[in-house]
Amino acid sequence: MANTYSKVGEMTTNDGVPLKVSLRRSQRKLKLWAFLLVAPLLVFILVSFIIPVVNMTMRGIENPQVANIMPNVVAALENWEGTELPDETVYAALVTDLTMGRKNKNIGKVATRLNYERSGMRRVITGSARKAAKLKEGPYKTQMIEINKAWGDVAVWSLIKRESGTFTSSYLISSVDRKTNDAGEIVAKIEDKQIYVNLFGKTLMMSFSITIICIVLAFPIAYLLATLPLAKSNLLMILVLLPFWTSLLVRTTTWIVLLQSQGVINDLLVWMNIIDEDGRLQMIYNQTGTIIAMTHILLPFMVLPLYSVMKTIPPTYMRAALSLGANPVTAFIKVYIPMTVSGIGAGSLLVFILSIGYYITPALVGGQSGLLISNMIAYHMQNSLNWGLAGALGFILLVIVLLFYALFNKVIGIDKMKMG
């Protein structure tokens, strides 16, 4: 088959395979290769990033405790109106479930879960479970109410019915400082318990300030880096990169040494008689400390993208603007700055998104007022063990970051961004 035309108009290879098919075959091979090459990274990201994120987000809405451990009560409550106390069958189911839960040693999970919604439910559940196991025969309604008068409270039953689904919105509601009241309406929490909305606001505000300060500080450095002769700019580059290569913890603790009230800066000020011994400045363990330390840590993320953009701007543009009659300031503002916008954008996005989820530095130098939402999430993961709430807060944070990313994309355009 030496001819390359088997049918009219159709191209084939030397062995008679249509060219289209052959091409598709070889491309499939290439695609497979490409896929195999990225597969390790893909698997890594899937396992170490995407699955945990999805898992954690699911924790924010999953609600298996009541449904799994008290199945009889859930079934018995299905047709309950919710206006007056449920009837004997529900109480009998309660005794069965509590007894089983105690035997399987998982009733504590229900107790913990319901205690998030209503303080004291832990004692109600675990205490009743202990006593319910000893009840011999019905009617159980009066006996259970005798064991704990909470069982004679319609609100408790409404709570159990509300939390009997496999999914719940209560963590999400709680992470925006709201709660469901006894009547089933979503209302604001009392003022003494409102925390997250303010904290989200504060986190955004602080990230915003840090970004602005970084732009102001990084712009001149990047400009110098881009315009100085090579020998000098290399030295300057090392100065920028050295802190970047230093451990984050070292840099943070260095700030503690410098800023604390018995620290280097305060000592110097006292020694120079600028402030007296009692007037030592509180510069750390508060918002100021967090902003200073985080600005320092995140500065290279602003300098490097700016530098890489500025490096590509030919100096002739400025000269042209000057020779056409603009004064240096106008030329700088109208010609130079617009050309650096993609660098500013990239740097800002990096700094802003990094600082919005920053954890370790605020934990060390933030004191109370300098804490960010990520510290609260860590608190719920490690201390209060309310992983559902941590998941819900994390989900909201993720949505905020994605919103800012979308906004950024709309305003500056992600394709114009240069990461350095």
Partner 1 sequence: MKKLLKRTIVATAIAAVSMTMATTAAQAEETFTIVSWGGAYTKSQQRAYHEPYTAKTGTKFLHEDKSGTALAGIRSQVEANNVTWDLVDILEGDAMIACDEGLVEEINYDEILAAAPDGTPASKDFLGGLNGCFIPQIYYATLFAFNDEIFTGEKPSTIADVFDLKKFPGKRALEKTPAGNLEWALMADGVAPNDIYDALSTEEGVARAFKKLDTIKDSVIWWEAGAQPPQLLSDKEVSIASGYNGRFFGAQVNEKQPFTIIWDGQLAEIDGWVVPKGKLTTAMKAYIKFATDTQRLADQSKYISYGPARKSSAAFVDKHADTGIDMKPHMPTSPTNFTNPVIKNAEWWANNKDDMSERFNAWLAK
Cβ proximity to partner 1: between 114 and 349 the closer is 114
Phi, then psi, of 38 in degrees rounded to 5: -90, -10
Please check whether residue 408 is in contact with residue 345, taking contact to mean a CB–CB distance below 8 angstroms: yes
| Shortest spacing between CB 116 and partner 1, in angstroms | 6
Cβ proximity to partner 1: between 150 and 303 the closer is 150
Helices 337-356 and 287-311 cross at an angle (nearest 10°) of: 140
Nearest one of 398, 401, 396, 359 to 177, comparing CA atoms: 396
Please, is 373 exposed, middle or buried when counting C-beta atoms within 10 Å of its C-beta (0-12, 13-18, 19+)? buried
Cβ proximity to partner 1: between 118 and 141 the closer is 118
| Shortest spacing between CB 249 and partner 1, in angstroms | 14
Cβ proximity to partner 1: between 235 and 268 the closer is 268
| Shortest spacing between CB 197 and partner 1, in angstroms | 11
Cβ proximity to partner 1: between 99 and 112 the closer is 112
DSSP class of 412: T
| Shortest spacing between CB 112 and partner 1, in angstroms | 6
Query: d(Cα 391, Cα 241) in Å, to the nearest integer?
Result: 35
Query: d(Cα 109, Cα 59) in Å, to the nearest integer?
Result: 15
| Shortest spacing between CB 365 and partner 1, in angstroms | 12
Task: Enter the tokens of residue 71.
Answer: 């199945």
C-alpha 188: how far from chain center:
23
Query: d(Cα 21, Cα 12) in Å, to the nearest integer?
Result: 9
Cβ proximity to partner 1: between 306 and 392 the closer is 392
Q: Which residues bind partner 1 (CB under 8 A)?
A: 104-109, 111-112, 115-116, 119-120, 122-123, 126, 192-195, 198-199, 260-262, 285, 367-369, 371, 376, 379, 381-386
DSSP class of 46: I
Phi, then psi, of 274 in degrees rounded to 5: -80, -40
| Shortest spacing between CB 382 and partner 1, in angstroms | 4
